[in-house]
Amino acid sequence: MMANGGNAREIVMTEQSNPEDRLLSLPERELVDQTRPPVIGGRSKEELHALAKRLRQARDRARRIGRQQTREIRGKADPKGATPARDNAGTEAKAQVLVEALGRVTAALRQLDAPTQAEVLRKAAAMKRSVTAPRHPSGGKTASSGMQPKVSGRPTVKADPREVGRVSAAVKVAQAKRDR
């Protein structure tokens, strides 16, 4: 009796420990199980692309149903089923599980496409070899074909010559007054 009861508890514990099993249908559960670490590592690029496409379709369907249920709850849409939806938490949770599975597939695809460390080092070494660095620094401007005028840093605005004369005369008068 105890052994049978123990086995029954173990089965119940495994069912309760994974709430995704309650949310997903059997085909959706199989899709999500294919995205788990030991299985996803053995997939080819084409298989991962096909898996991602099916997961997107399932995710979009769950999101669409969730939105419809939200509209039914708010009273904005007519019920699709026999009874109007009272809660869409399960549908939203299902969509979230599918989003996480899709994220795992996307990460696996990105990892397959990513270059290895050896490829990165080879590319860096090739780029370093291809660059021809100058052996000596440039001497700057030189008089190769005669002297060249230097560009002045002064402003190009010219003062009126009459103003220059007026200021010079005023300074001369002020100095003469101090000297007296």
For 116-150, how does the pLDDT look when each residue is reduced to its tens digit (9 = 90+)? 899 999 999 999 888 877 677 766 766 567 777 77
- At 168, list the tokens: 């010079």
Residues of the chain below pLDDT 70: 1-17, 134, 138-139, 141-144
Rounded distance, CA 41 to CA 108, Å?
A: 8
Q: Tell me what pLDDT residue 141 has.
A: 66
Distance of CA 76 to the CA centre of its chain: 35
- Number of residues assigned to the chain: 180
Report the share of the chain in percent with pLDDT over 70: 84
pLDDT at 83: 75
Contacts of 153 (CB under 8 A, 6+ apart): none
pLDDT at 17: 56
Query: Which pLDDT value is given to residue 42?
Result: 83
**What pLDDT is stored for residue 9 in this prediction?**
43
Query: What pLDDT is recorded for position 12?
Result: 45
pLDDT in the model for residue 75: 84
Q: How far apart are CA 96 and CA 58, in angstroms?
A: 11
Beta bridge partners of 146: 144
* Residue 127 burial by Cβ neighbours in a 10 Å radius (0-12, 13-18, 19+): exposed
Q: CA–CA separation, 150 vs 92, rounded Å?
A: 72
